[in-house]
Amino acid sequence: MLRHIDWEFPLPRTHAGMMLGNATTGLLVWGEGDHLKITIGRADLWDHRGGMPPWTEKQNYRAIKACLDANDAAGIKSIFACATENVPGQPTRPSVIPVGRLDLRLGAGATLERGRIDSRTGVAEIFYSRGGRELAIRLQISMESQLFLLELSEDGAELVSVPSWEFKGEYLKSISFEPPRLLKDAGLKGWTQALPSDPGVCVAAKFDGKRVWMLTERGSDMDALAQDAKGKLSAAIAAGVAKFDAANLAWWGAYWKDIPAIEIPNAKLDLLYVYGLYKFAAFTNPSGVPATLQGPWIEEYEMPPWSSDYHFNINVQMCYWPAFKANRLEHLRPMFDMVWGWRERLALNAKAFVGIDDGLMLPHAVDDQCVCMGSFWTGTIDHACSAWIAQMMYSYCQFTGDTAYLREVVFPFMKGVMRVYEEMLELRDGKYVLPVSVSPEYRGAEMNAWGANASFQLAAIHRLCEDLVASAAQLDQKPAPVWGEILTKLPKATLFEDKDDSPRFGLWEGTDLEESHRHHSHLGSICPFDTIDIYSPDWVKTVNNSVHHWVREGNGLWSGWCVPWASMLHSRLGNGEAAETLLEIFGKYYANEGHGTLHDATCPGFTCFGGPTFRAVNSTPRREIMQMDGGMGSLTAVQDMLMHSRRGVVHIFPGVPRSWKDASFKDMPCEGGFMVSAVRSRRATAKVTVAARRAGKLLLGNPWADSDVAATFSDGVSTVLWGEVLELALPAGVSCELSKA
């Protein structure tokens, strides 16, 4: 498994830079010639003004439905208008604010050559040449505070402050910002930037010629903030480099200690896996800010796309998916705790929307205080956003066995989410119907971007009901009768039928997948919600028809993050070649020369989304939209190729292409508290080992198809197992080695 991540300078743009971060502060290291640039971002630097105010009765489901039935676009626009729409001096919606850069001028004769990050220690090295010698710069960021340290091989460099005001000053002034103030203390570089209604930020650095100690700090009083930053820098310098190094080595050592090691014969996917795990640490550090679209890596030259907010219609979920099989479950809790901390606002949303006092409703795009961004009405009423987070919370409990958290947080959250769906559903002719539903971003926010029984919503409801029933049994509580009724009376998907490839999954009733689309949501019953057995006689024809049609419509309107989702779908379908190829495509088309993962393609030919289809018209540089979701999704897709579960059954090497002669993974967790290891040799599974961290039963898809399986338990018992699905009942602390009998 790869350890070092390498870069070649020049790295000419911010998002081509080397990434360092601790989930709150992020650094992007880039530049060319003798000019090294360190872009600094803060994930928590929110200007909270704007957005939709607390929901009122006008956000009522019946009022929305009436406008939709009447095709009343003006009415819908009024319902979802932001509080500060067209108000002078005010932003329309909240946004994370860019910070700026610290630039290092290395001096005449210096040329930046290459960079390297040791994924196991978080230490970055930047190498440059001068006079035939190679010299090094060492950079690392504290994982426990907002402090970072740069060490040079020689004296003579110059440090320059570059606040984001130099790029966005006119816009920031238009929304009532004051200019930044440069720090004036001798020996200090940096600036303070006040915000109109929120705590500001200070960037401060002390440079003694060979070391630059730097930090970011938040506060409301700019003078006091500057003095506080100065004091913290002095304290860090007094504590010394050795203490800084030791703390970071300890943090990174603990992070990597029990992450599953993999060996795969594809260097491109290995890079996605290892660099993904490194970035996951820097992105979701539990002591930092819950992960947004860009995390702490905010560009200095413009406002971040989509405010770098929390998008709950796949993006947040994809950012956190790696935690489960990476054995880093504690990284999920800050996001869960944030959402649970919003429950009063979620309850007010549900009260306004469907008139109940016991519901919870999470819109698709919010800031860190759960203020809805507004305007995009289809996202705002997409209640699968809530159900999807509920699914992840329940999965967390399945992996950890944390019954107390299930009882105190997850079960109440799931019930609150379900109550909103219960009010939206109608019983017609003995069947439940969801009369107003959306499929994420399909037809955008047009007046025809909705219909009855969207397949994505149906899958989300079934997943939620199944998890509620299972949770009730685990907690020895009586399930609500309506959950069972919904499971039996609500369709699992909407089927579209025509002359060709009939039936197949529709977007909603009467609407087929009419074109390439970046959300594979109509296939949500396969992944992520896993609500149907795709290999059963009841579904295999529909799944085949649906996938055939999906592939035929193609990838022409795909964005970056939907490519790993497609790979995950193909892993579940047993299409290992497609699963692998799509991840290679992601690395080629949706990662730049600095491994930065992008929303839009870097070059033409694979998609029309976000850029030209012909290189001759690509003379004007396009906006580079970095998002973290695609990179984290690619990491998850590699995990899924090696192991995933379907309908409660764990499958080994389900998405591995036939060309992979050898592969292995060690101690990858799955639901139930089991740790699974497997070895593939000569294009066949050679050995599987299952270890139980707590007592339980694992259902394992027979890796040797219909063959008998030799099972040797660590407590001395040996037996032979058989069947399509193997049942392993293991006491805590016992392991079992399986091989073909």
**CATH value at residue 682:** 2.60.40.1180
Indicate whether 245 and 367 sit together in one domain. no
CATH number at residue 424: 1.50.10.10
In a domain, 663, yes or no: yes
Tell me the CATH number at 14: 2.70.98.50
Dist. CA 40–CA 300, nearest whole Å: 8
| Shared-domain flag, residues 534 and 675 | no
The 3 state secondary structure assigned to 76-135 is: HHHHCCCCCCCCCCCCCCCEECCCEEEEEECCCCCEEEEEEEECCCCEEEEEEEECCEEE
pLDDT of residue 350: 97
Which of 530, 554, 578 is the C-terminal boundary of a domain?
A: 554
Residue 274 covered by a domain:
no
Tokens 């795909």, located at residue: 558
Give the pLDDT of residue 209: 82
One domain for residues 38 and 129: yes
Q: Residue 34 and residue 628: Cα distance in Å, rounded?
A: 29
| In 325-459, beta strands by DSSP E | 365-366, 426-428, 431-433
Please state the rounded mean pLDDT for residues 302-322. 98
**Could you tell me which of 714, 713, 717, 718 has the C-alpha nearest to residue 741?**
718
Q: Is residue 631 part of a domain?
A: no
- Confidence (pLDDT) at 618: 57
Q: What is the per-residue pLDDT across 243-278, written as a single tens digit (0 to 9) for each?
A: 999 999 999 999 999 999 999 999 999 999 999 999
Domain that holds residue 364: 309-554
**Does residue 275 belong to any structural domain of this protein?**
no
How many C-beta neighbours within 10 Å does residue 684 have?
A: 11
Q: Do residue 325 and residue 247 come from a single domain? A: no
Q: Do residue 242 and residue 321 come from a single domain?
A: no
Structure token pair of residue 375: 């305007």
d(CA 554, CA 556): 6
Whether residue 30 is found in the same domain as residue 176: yes
Q: What is the mean pLDDT of the chain?
A: 96
The domain boundary residue, chosen from 498, 522, 554: 554
φ, ψ (nearest 5 deg) of residue 724: -70, -35
φ, ψ dihedrals at 480, nearest 5°: -65, 130
| Position 627 pLDDT exceeds 90 | yes
Using the predicted structure, report yes or no on whether residue 188 has a pLDDT greater than 70.
yes
- Do residue 116 and residue 226 come from a single domain? yes
Same domain membership, residue 517 and residue 393: yes
Residues 17 and 166 in one domain: yes
Domains in the chain: how many in total?
Answer: 3
Is 639 part of a structural domain of the chain? no
- Write down the pLDDT at residue 222: 97
Residue type, 389: I
| Confidence class for position 621, pLDDT limits 50, 70, 90 | low
Count of CA atoms in the C-beta half-sphere (13 A) of 99: 32
Q: 165 and 32: one domain?
A: yes
CB-based contacts of 582, cutoff 8 Å, min separation 6: 563, 564, 566, 567, 570, 637
For residues 334 and 427, membership in a common domain is answered with yes
**225 lies in a domain?**
yes
Any domain includes 54: no
The percent of residues in the chain predicted with pLDDT above 90, rounded, is 94
What is the tens place of the pLDDT at every residue in 432-451? 999 999 999 999 999 999 99
Residue 419 carries which DSSP code?
H
Residues 119 and 184 in one domain: yes
